[in-house]
Amino acid sequence: MLAFLWNLGAFIVALGILITAHEFGHFYVARRCGVRVQRFSIGFGKAIWQRVGKDGTEYVVAMIPLGGYVKMLDERVEEVPPEQLHESFNRKSVWARMAIVAAGPIANFIFAVIALYFMYLIGVPAVKPVIDATRSASPAAVMQLQQPQQIVAVSGQTVRNWEEVNLALVSHIGEQSLSLTLSPVSDISSPDDAGRLNGKTYQLDISHWHFDPDKESPITTLGLEIYRPKVVPVLAEVVSGGAAAQAGLQVGDTLLAVDGNTLPDWQNFVTQIKAAANKTLQLTIRRNGEQLQIPVTPAEHKGANGAIEGYLGVSPVAPKWPDNMQLELQYGPLESVIMAAQKTWQLTAVSVKMLGKLFTGDVSLKSLSGPISIAQGAGNTASFGLVYFLGFLALISVNLGIINLVPLPVLDGGHLMYYVIEAITRRPVSERIQEIGFRFGAALLLVLMSIALFNDFARL
C-alpha cells in the first residue's frame, strides 16, 4: 500500500510538472501573439484551486490530473464581443496559430533540456559499460575477449554508461547490423575519454535479433556478459518470517558450503536454492569465528517464467565496484547546457525511431506503456534520488512532445497539419473534414490508450 501511494504521488508530481510546461508553452506564445487567454487549467473536472490574475486569465488546478488545457478566445467556440475580435484565436494569421499550437510540444523539449541541465550539474553516479565475455551462438559471439573491455561506441555513437548503451542498442531493433567499439578499461580515465579513443570495432549481424522488452534486456539478448564484481557470500539481509529466518540464519553469517560442497560463488548458491523448493539442505556457515551446520528448507516461490523455485529470503552484502569501473557524469554550468542539449537530441532521435518501428511492426504493440507503467517509473526513480527523477522527467517530456507532434487530429500535430494545408492552399480546411478527422483521431487514440492500459495490467 505504501509503495502504491508513493508511486501515485510521484506520478501526480511528474505529470503536473510536464503538463504545466506543455500548457505554459501554448499560453506564453498565445499571449505574445495577442490572443486573450480565458483559462489556464492543470487537470480536468472540478477545480480544487482557482484565481483570476491581473491579466484577466483564470488559473485553475482541477481534480483529475490527467491533462490540462489553455482556453483561448475563439469565435468558433463562443460569441465574441466586437471590441475583442482582434484578440480572438481564429482571427490571427495561420502562422501565428501554428506557432501557438507548436509551442506546447516545443516547451516539452525545452523542459527536457532544463531537467537534464540540473541533472548533469548535480552529477549522475554511473557504472562504465564493461563486458568480460560474450555468449556463443549470439550476435556478440564474433567478439573474443581476453580481458574486460569497455563499450565506447555503438555504431559510431559515443556511450559512457549502460543507460546510453541500452538506448543506442534499442534504436537498432529491426535493422540488419550494428557495430560495437571496445577499448581496455585501463585506457579510460574520465567519461570524455570514451569519445576520443579509437578502440577495436566489431560488426554484429542482428538480422535475427529478437527479444521481449518487457522481460529481456537488449544487452543480454545480444550476447554480452556484463562485468560484475564478485559477490561476497555474507548475508546482508534475512527476510523476517522467511525460510532463512525460521532456520536461524542471521545477518553477518558467511556461507561456506551446501550439503558439504564448498560454494564457489553466490550465483552457485542461488542456483542450488532455486532447485530445492521444499527440500532440506545442510548449510555450513561461519558466525563470529565459529563454524556451524544449519538445516534449511527453501519455500516455494513462482519464478519469472512461472516455474516453481526455491526461495530462502536472504540477500548478500552488495559488492564494491572497482574505482576504475565507476564514473560520475558531472559538468560545469556551461558544459551542462551542451550535454543536456545533446542528451535531449539523443532521446528525441531514439524515441522517433521507436515510434516509426512501432508502425512498421519492428517493435511490438506490447511495448506500449500507459499511466500505470509511468507511475511505477516515477516512483522508482524518485526513490533513487533527485538526479534520477530529473532524468525520468526529461525522458517522459521528450516523449510527450513527440507524441503531440504526431499528425493525428485531436493532437497538436493534427492541428498543425490542418494549418499547413491552409498555408499551402490559402484557405482553411472545411469544418466537415476537420470533424471527420477529429473523430477518427479520437477513435485511434482511444484504441492505443486501451492497448497501453492492457499492457500495464499484464505487467502487474
Which residue in this structure is represented by grid cell 539523443? 346
* pLDDT of 197 over the 70 cut: no
Domain ranges of the chain: 1-31+98-122+354-460, 34-91, 125-228+324-329, 235-316
Q: Is 175 a catalytic residue?
A: no
pLDDT band at residue 348 under the 50/70/90 scheme: very high
So what's the pLDDT on residue 192? 52
So what's the pLDDT on residue 26? 95
Bigger pLDDT: 11 vs 256: 256
DSSP string covering 399-430: HHHHHHHSS-TTSHHHHHHHHHHHHHHSSPPP
Which burial class, exposed, middle or buried, applies to 350 when counting CB atoms under 10 A from its CB (0-12, 13-18, 19+)?
middle
C-alpha cell at position 413: 500535430
Q: What type of residue sits at position 65?
A: P
Which residue in this structure is represented by grid cell 529491426? 174
So what's the pLDDT on residue 1? 64
β-partners of residue 130 are 150
Q: What type of residue sits at position 206?
A: I
* pLDDT of 47 over the 80 cut: yes
So what's the pLDDT on residue 180? 92
So what's the pLDDT on residue 186? 63
- The Cα 453–Cα 206 span in angstroms is 31
Strands 177-184 and 261-262: unpaired
Helix (H, G, I), strand (E, B) or coil at 197: coil
Provide the percentage of residues in the chain whose pLDDT is more than 90: 33
Arithmetic mean of pLDDT over the chain? 85
* pLDDT of 12 over the 80 cut: yes
Helix (H, G, I), strand (E, B) or coil at 226: strand
Q: Do domains 125-228+324-329 and 235-316 have the same CATH topology?
A: yes
pLDDT band at residue 342 under the 50/70/90 scheme: very high
- Average pLDDT of span 3-10: 76
So what's the pLDDT on residue 341? 95
* pLDDT of 95 over the 90 cut: yes
Q: Model confidence over 249-278: pLDDT tens digits?
A: 999 999 999 998 998 888 888 888 888 888
To which CATH superfamily is domain 125-228+324-329 assigned? PDZ domain (2.30.42.10)
CATH number for the domain formed by residue range(s) 235-316: 2.30.42.10
At residue 181's C-alpha, the angle toward residues 178 and 183, to 5°, is: 160
Q: Which among 4-8, 93-97, 145-149, 268-272 has the top mean pLDDT?
A: 93-97
Q: Say which range, 261-265, 278-282, 355-359, 369-373, has the weakest mean pLDDT.
A: 369-373
- Average pLDDT of span 156-185: 88
Helix (H) / strand (E) element for 353: namely helix 333-360
Phi, psi of 157, rounded to the nearest 5 degrees? -90, 120
- The Cα 330–Cα 209 span in angstroms is 35
C-alpha cell at position 156: 559510431
- The Cα 377–Cα 393 span in angstroms is 10
So what's the pLDDT on residue 375? 67
- The Cα 448–Cα 371 span in angstroms is 12
Determine how many CB atoms are found less than 10 A away from the CB of residue 429: 15
Beta strands in 330-389 (DSSP E): none
**Which one is catalytic: 23, 87, 164, 309?**
23
Report how far apart, in Å, the C-alpha atoms of 100 and of each of 86, 201, 356, 400 are.
16, 46, 26, 17
Secondary structure tally for the chain: helices H, strands E: 11, 18
So what's the pLDDT on residue 110? 96
Q: Model confidence over 398-448: pLDDT tens digits?
A: 999 999 998 888 889 989 999 999 899 988 888 888 888 888 877 877 887
pLDDT band at residue 38 under the 50/70/90 scheme: very high
- The Cα 230–Cα 316 span in angstroms is 11
CA atoms within 13 A on the CB side of 218: 18
* pLDDT of 449 over the 80 cut: no
Which residue in this structure is represented by grid cell 553477518? 252
